[in-house]
Amino acid sequence: MAPQGMTVGQLLQKEREGKKVSLETVARRTRIKLAFLKAIEEDAFQLIPSETYVWGFIRSYAKLVQLNPEEILKLYRNQAEPPPSSAEESSAASKRHLKQIKNHVFDFLTTMAGGTPAYSLGKSVFRHKD
């Protein structure tokens, strides 16, 4: 189906150009904004509002250029899936970031209530029950 090493965007663009169909024609026939179609062809899926839209847009585009939508979506899932080690790293970074946000919110609320923020005390403000 897909030549080795081709991305979803490259494959869809190649098929479209092979059929001599302009991107504007694809936009008109699928009713997908031109900016989103460009994002798909550039594999910039983060520019599309949600994963659900990405899937629907890829499916519509694939049907229009006469490719099997399920195979293209499978290729997209493989392309979008992060490597296992980076997923674990991003999960740990995400947890650290969330903890920092919680601390900042706590400090802000404490300061707004007229108290001293925890970071200026240099220790935890939570007391352990004896």
Yes or no: say if 14 and 24 are a contact pair by the CB < 8 Å rule: no
DSSP states of 58-127 as a string? Answer: HHHHHHHTT--HHHHHHHHHHHHSPPHHHHHHHHHHHHHHHHHHHHHHHHHHHHHTT---HHHHTS--PP
Q: Which domains are delineated in the chain?
A: 8-80 (1.10.260.40), 84-121 (no CATH)
Predicted TM-score of the model (pTM): 0.61
CA distance 119 to 22: 58
Q: What confidence tens digit (pLDDT) does each residue in 25-57 have?
A: 999 999 999 999 999 999 999 999 999 999 999
- Of 52 and 113, the one with more pLDDT: 52
Percent of the chain exceeding pLDDT 70 equals 76
